[in-house]
Structure 1
Amino acid sequence: METLGGLDKIVKHSVKTSRRKAERDQLFQKIVTATVTKKPDISKIQTQIGIAIERALLLCAKIKELQTVLVVLCDLHGRLDLGEIGIPFGEDHNGCKILLTSTSSEALSKHMKVDKVIQLSET
Structure 2
Amino acid sequence: MEAKQIRVAASAPCTDPFGAISQRCLENVMDVLAEPNAHLIGVYGSNHELKHTLIEKVCRRVLRDKLFDRVLIVTASKKPDVKKTQEEVTCQLRLTFNYKSKHDVKKIQEDIAGQLGLTFNNKSKDKRAHKLIERLKIEQKILIILSDLHKELDLSKVGIPYGSHHTGCKILLTSTTEDLLSNHMHTQHNFNIGS
Larger radius of gyration: 2
TM-score, normalised by the number of residues in structure 1: 0.92
RMSD: 1.4
CA-CA distance at 1:60 after TM superposition: 0.9
Q: With CA pairs under 8 Å and 6+ residues apart, which has the higher RCO, 1 or 2?
A: 1
User: Which consecutive aligned stretches of 4+ in structure 1 deviate over 6 angstroms post-superposition?
Assistant: none
1:102 corresponds to which residue? Answer: 175
Task: Name the SS of the counterpart of 1:98 in structure 2.
Answer: strand
- 1:115, distance to aligned residue in structure 2 (A): 2.9
Shift of 1:121: 2.0
Aligned twin of 1:88: 161
TM-score (normalizing by structure 2): 0.59
More helix by share: 1
Kindly indicate whether the alpha-carbon contact (under 8 Å) linking 1:46 and 1:55 is maintained by their aligned counterparts in 2.
no
Structure-2 change in CA distance of 1:27 and 1:115 (3 Å): closer
Letter in 2 for 1:107: L
Q: Give the C-alpha shift of residue 26 in structure 1.
A: 2.4
1:42 is matched with 105
Is residue 2:90 matched to residue 1:27?
no
How many residues of Structure 1 are paired with residues of Structure 2 in the alignment? Answer: 122
Unaligned runs of 5+ in 2: 1-39, 81-103, 121-127
The equivalent residue for 1:2 is 41
Structure 1 runs not aligned, ≥5 long: none
User: SS state of the match for residue 137, structure 2?
Assistant: helix
Structure 1: distance between partners of 2:107 and 2:185: 19
Structure with the largest fraction of strand:
1
- Between the aligned residues of both structures, percent identity stands at 36
Q: Counterpart of 2:152?
A: 79
Q: CA deviation at 1:16?
A: 0.5
